[in-house]
Structure 1
Amino acid sequence: MANTYTQLDIHLVFAVKGRESLIHKRWREDLYQYVTGIVQTHKHKMLQIGGMADHIHIFLGYNPTQLLPELVKEIKTSSNQYIRERGYAKSAFSWQVGYGAFSHGRSERQTVIQYIQNQEAHHSKRTFRQEYVLMLQKFDIDYKDEYLFDFQDMTGWVGDQ
């Protein structure tokens, strides 16, 4: 009997609502572990997770038995609840509507992993808006400014006190 085999690497990006710097270093790893659990529960493979105080990058080996929008919804909904229940955010926490999803070939894995691991260095030179627009352009995705995340154009980030 024949089987189905896939190798689909997806890089997800989404932002905190209002682009507030609410993801603090003191609990960021807890959030990443929680999100990794969601990804693995749905039979995807976490390749790398990281981000900044106002956005997150999730790079995963995608299992096509689950629709991508359903996975993103599960990650956002469950992590919102997780953050609220633990009182991690000083103000109301939620993710912005929408997300970016970018596919990568296996030969790009290490480059994407390193990119996510080096978020602090990237954002010392460019804003999240600049980073995100460059990603959209690299993947030749048509976009309209009014439908992008709510951006606050500042380099660096606040919120890691």
Structure 2
Amino acid sequence: MPFIKVYIHVVFSTKNRIPYLNTTALRLKVWKHIKENASEKRIFVDVVNGYSDHCHCLISLGSDQNIGKVIQLLKGESSFWINKNQLTKTKFAWQEEYFAVSVSESMVDTVRNYIIHQEKHHQKKTFAEECQEFLDKFNFK
């Protein structure tokens, strides 16, 4: 059996950055569902949180998983579930694009803390500002 610990910080937005997830109660319900569904699919989601128009996940990939497939499963199933349960007034969708960066073992607690405090973080900064910082920090061109 392989012993693997590869952490990835993933961020994905709602389609067109529409603030579908506009209440704390709704967000908590969606984050809980994403984590539970991931567990059923043997996807390890350490922490999930976000704000009205986006989601952050800290995940650890297994030996038979790749980032594209894992993100597809998380986004696809959660949008299906949100729509099936009519949790938003209009049809919900995630944007196709996403950010994903590796996280060193020494930074896991820092990233986890950053994800946990999204509500507080977005009282001071928009998602657009956060995206630009992410692009700059990780040298995305």
Give TM-score, length-normalised by structure 2.
0.91
**In the alignment, which residue of structure 1 is the partner of 2:50?**
51
Which runs of 5 or more structure 1 residues have no equivalent in the other structure?
143-161
Q: TM-score normalized by structure 1?
A: 0.81
1:3-58 per-residue CA deviation (whole Å, 9 max, x = no partner) reads 42221111110011121111132222221121112322332322111000110001
SS at match of 1:28: helix
Task: Specify which structure has the higher proportion of strand.
Answer: 2
Contact 1:42 1:66 in 2 (8 A): no
Matched, 1:29 2:3: no
Pairs aligned (count) = 140
| Secondary structure in structure 1 of the residue aligned to 2:46 | strand
Runs of 4+ aligned structure 1 residues displaced above 6 Å come to none
Q: How does 1:1-161 map to 2 (within 5 A)?
A: 3-23=1-21, 24-142=23-141
Residue identity matched to 1:90: K
Compare 72-81 and 116-125 and name the one that shifted more. Answer: 116-125
Unmatched tracts of structure 2, length 5 or more = none
Q: Which digits, 9 at most, give the CA deviation of each residue in 1:34-90, with x for residues without a partner?
A: 111232233232211100011000111221312211111111111111001111001
AA partner of residue 76 (structure 2): T
Amino acid at match of 1:13: V
In 1: Cα distance, 2:46 partner to 2:69 partner: 19
Query: How far apart in 2 are the matches of 1:36 and 1:70?
Result: 16
Partner Cα separation in structure 2 for residue 33 and residue 120 of structure 1: 16
- State how far apart, in whole Å, the 1-side matches of 2:76 and 2:116 are: 24
Flag the structure with larger Rg: 1
Tell me the C-alpha RMSD between the 2 structures: 1.4
